[in-house]
Structures are given as C-alpha cells and as structure tokens.
C-alpha cells in the first residue's frame, strides 16, 4: 500500500532514508480516511477495498455494480500553490477535480489514489500536500487508499511538483446516470462555485504576470488578498448530490449532471446533453463571485471568461420539471444554495447562455 510504496521509492532519495517521519505522517493522513471497507495490509504492493460491507445488514449493497473510474490532475494551480506557499489545500482541489467528475454518473466515491511527482522532496511540504488530499477524501467520504511519490530532480525543477489522482466509484447499473434521459422541459439547477476552482490557472497566472500583480495584496473588490481568492479550494459536491440521489429510491428524478471545469458552462453542459436537446441558461439568475469580474477587468474578453472559467456555477443537475422545487428544497437542506439556472428544450445539443 501507499505508505510502504512511498518508503520503497523514498529509499532512492538519499536524504529520505532516515526520514521515517515523512512516511509515518503520510500513513497517519491515509489512515484518517479509512472506513470499515479498507483492508489494511502491511508491506503490500496494492491497496485493498471491500466492495460490500461485511455486516449482514449491509451486505450486497450492489446487485449489478458498475465501477466508475476518473483520472485528473490539479493543473497549473500547483504552480500558484508553490508561489504562495499555500500547500495545505491543493490536495482538496485534486480530489475535487476527480470526485466531482465521478458523481456525474450517480456514483458513490469509494477510494482515491494520488500521484505526487517532485523535483527534490521537501518532506514537510509534501506531508502538507498529502494531508490536503486526505482532507479532500474526507469531504468526499472516500478512502485515500494509496499513491505514489516520485522524486525526479531531472524532470522537475527544485520546489516544483505535479499532482494527479485517480478516483474509483460504484453505482448500481440501473441507477447510473448518463444524460440519455434528459428531456425537453427538464429544469437545470446550478450549484454555486466558490471561485475559480481548479481550471483556467494558466490564464490566471498569465494575467498576474502581465499586470505584475502582488498575490499578497488585499484587494478591496474581493474583500481579501488575491492569494486567498485564487487558492480557495474547489468545492466538493459529493454529499449534497448523493443525498439528493438517495432521496429518490424508485423515481429517477435526476436525469443528468455536469461538473463545470475547463470549457466552462457551455462545453460541460453540452457534454451532458443528448443530441436532441438544447440547454438554455439565464446568467442573470446567479451572481458570480467577485473574482470573476475582477479577472475580467484585468483584460480577459467575456467570451474567453465563459469558455475558461465556471463563472460561479461549479456543478449542474438536470431534474424532471415536476420535481424541480422538491429537489431544490432537498439540496438546500443538504446545505447547498441551488439556483434554477435554466431549462432543457428540444434542439441539437447546443447550450445557449442568455
């Protein structure tokens, strides 16, 4: 399992050999995410996870289990994390990028594995990163089952690192959501983002460099520093979405979902649509966090903004029209602030934002 794996790999870096603290800290972070389904195995090569609970009461959770896998990286937000020294939450971004994709099929996240590649290992810094990953896993109610830390000084510059991850989920076959049931009339409900999340950071960093912005400066318009606004970790939508899905055991009220990442609302909502439906969104229905108008005024065209950023909506749920109000109430009870942002109509897979 990861901890052992890390130890093994660590031994190729001289400084690490004595650093059992690093391995112990990572092991503690991993164990903090373990539920009863994780089978711990000392000295192993892989992470083991029981699909069914062992208790008679819960056994056979899945009659026809469909496994769902996602791979994604944290993107160039890692460079901003290094620059600002904010290493504690970039792991939450990483988990979010993966599990928010996973739940679009209605899947329950089971476990996560990370890949952390670095130039030269600063053990304390990397423990902070892994603790962030564990924090993200807890928000997503999944186990950090393993991972790999690779020290590659010839590939990564000193202090720089890359972060990728893989999440595995499961959904009962007949409950899997794939967007094919989206129909004209369906309500489109948006769940707010809390800022830029983890996409568009190459553009963000370009603007910062061009305008010579100071990350630590307090920005009146934002009510916080630029670092605070830009490093805020991506929201994880696992709990409200699974609560919504579990509320309807027989009726299939949710017809589709989209995680709003690179490509923005237009591209990601389109990915969820069947070929004979259009989505019409009304952007007056929600107020994007101030960071977006701030970035736009620094010189990004509005069309580019829409295409690169989530613009305030991080996740989208398609719901049968007669259940829209009930779904919104349920999402509110789950702590969300859902907004009815649009409607599905007959069409050809297009997304219109009015």
The footprint of its own copies on residues 106-125 (CB under 8 A) is 107, 110-111, 113-115, 117
SS3 assignment, position 265:
helix
- Of 60 and 285, which CB lies nearer to its own copies in the complex structure? 60
* Segment interacting with its own copies, rule: CB under 8 A, options 163-171, 213-221, 279-287, 335-343: 163-171
Size of the site for its own copies (CB under 8 A): 80
Q: Is residue 176 close enough to count as binding its own copies by CB under 8 A?
A: yes
- Of 148 and 224, which CB lies nearer to its own copies in the complex structure? 148
Q: Kindly state the smallest distance separating residue 283's Cβ from its own copies, in Å.
A: 21
- Out of 33, 104, 198, 255, which residue is the one contacting its own copies (CB under 8 A)? 104
**Which x/- pattern over 61-80 shows residues binding its own copies (rule: CB under 8 A)?**
-x-xxxxxxxxxx-xx-xx-
- Of 201 and 323, which CB lies nearer to its own copies in the complex structure? 201
Pairing of strands 313-319, 187-192: antiparallel
Q: Is residue 280 close enough to count as binding its own copies by CB under 8 A?
A: no
Q: Is residue 190 close enough to count as binding its own copies by CB under 8 A?
A: no
- Of 90 and 222, which CB lies nearer to its own copies in the complex structure? 90
CB within 8 Å of 323: residues ≥ 6 apart: 248, 251, 253
- Of 1 and 187, which CB lies nearer to its own copies in the complex structure? 1
Look at residues 72, 97, 134 and name the one whose alpha carbon lies nearest to residue 260. Answer: 97
- Of 222 and 351, which CB lies nearer to its own copies in the complex structure? 351
* Segment interacting with its own copies, rule: CB under 8 A, options 25-33, 60-68, 292-300, 335-343: 60-68
Output the CA torsion sign for 318, 324, 327, 331.
Answer: positive
Q: Kindly state the smallest distance separating residue 351's Cβ from its own copies, in Å.
A: 12
- Out of 3, 23, 26, 47, which residue is the one contacting its own copies (CB under 8 A)? 47
* Segment interacting with its own copies, rule: CB under 8 A, options 102-110, 190-198, 210-218, 335-343: 102-110
Q: How far apart are CA 299 and CA 228, in angstroms?
A: 21
* Segment interacting with its own copies, rule: CB under 8 A, options 88-96, 130-138, 211-219, 265-273: 265-273
CB within 8 Å of 315: residues ≥ 6 apart: 100, 190, 191, 193, 235, 237, 241, 257, 258, 259, 260
Q: How far apart are CA 142 and CA 158, in angstroms?
A: 32
Q: Is residue 268 close enough to count as binding its own copies by CB under 8 A?
A: yes
CB atoms inside a 10 Å sphere around CB 332: 12
- Out of 28, 48, 215, 280, which residue is the one contacting its own copies (CB under 8 A)? 48
- Of 283 and 307, which CB lies nearer to its own copies in the complex structure? 307
The DSSP code sequence of 100-112 is HHHGGGTPEEEEE
Look at residues 215, 206, 198 and name the one whose alpha carbon lies nearest to residue 78. Answer: 198
What phi and psi, each to the nearest 5 degrees, are found at residue 330? -65, -40
Entry field: residues in the chain? 354
Q: Is residue 202 close enough to count as binding its own copies by CB under 8 A?
A: yes
Q: Is residue 259 close enough to count as binding its own copies by CB under 8 A?
A: yes
DSSP classification of residue 195: S
Q: How far apart are CA 233 and CA 270, in angstroms?
A: 25
């Amino acid at each position: 399992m990861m901890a052992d794996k890390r130890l093994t790999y660590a031994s190729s870096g001289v400084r690490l050999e004595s650093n059992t603290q690093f391995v112990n800290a990572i092991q503690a972070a991993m164990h903090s995410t373990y539920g009863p389904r994780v089978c711990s195995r000392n000295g192993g090569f892989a992470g083991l996870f029981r699909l069914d609970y062992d208790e008679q009461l819960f056994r056979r959770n899945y009659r026809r289990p469909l496994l769902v896998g996602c791979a994604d990286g944290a993107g160039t937000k890692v460079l901003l994390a290094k620059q600002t020294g904010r290493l504690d939450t970039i792991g939450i971004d990483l988990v979010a990028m993966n599990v928010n994709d996973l739940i679009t099929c209605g899947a329950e996240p089971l476990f996560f594995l990370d890949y952390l590649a670095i130039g030269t290992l600063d053990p304390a810094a990397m423990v902070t990163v892994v603790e962030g990953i564990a924090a993200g896993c807890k928000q997503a109610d999944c186990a950090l089952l393993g991972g790999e830390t690779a020290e590659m000084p010839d590939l990564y510059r000193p202090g720089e690192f890359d972060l990728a991850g893989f999440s595995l989920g499961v959904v009962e076959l007949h409950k899997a959501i794939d967007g094919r049931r989206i129909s004209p009339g369906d309500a489109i409900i948006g769940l707010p983002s809390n800022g830029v999340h983890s996409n568009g950071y190459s553009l963000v960093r370009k603007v910062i460099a061009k305008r010579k912005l100071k990350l630590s400066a307090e920005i009146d318009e934002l009510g916080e520093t630029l670092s605070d606004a830009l490093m805020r970790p991506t929201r994880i939508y696992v709990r409200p979405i699974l609560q919504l899905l579990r509320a309807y055991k027989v009726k299939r009220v949710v017809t589709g979902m989209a995680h709003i990442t690179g490509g923005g609302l237009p591209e990601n909502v389109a990915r969820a649509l069947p070929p004979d439906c259009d989505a019409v969104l009304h952007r007056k229905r929600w107020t994007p966090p101030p960071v977006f108008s701030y970035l736009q005024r620094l010189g990004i065209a509005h069309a580019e903004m829409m295409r690169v950023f989530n613009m305030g909506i991080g996740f989208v749920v398609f719901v049968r029209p007669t259940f829209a109000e009930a779904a919104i109430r349920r999402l509110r009870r789950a702590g969300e602030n859902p907004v009815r942002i649009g409607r599905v109509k007959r069409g050809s897979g297009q997304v219109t934002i009015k």
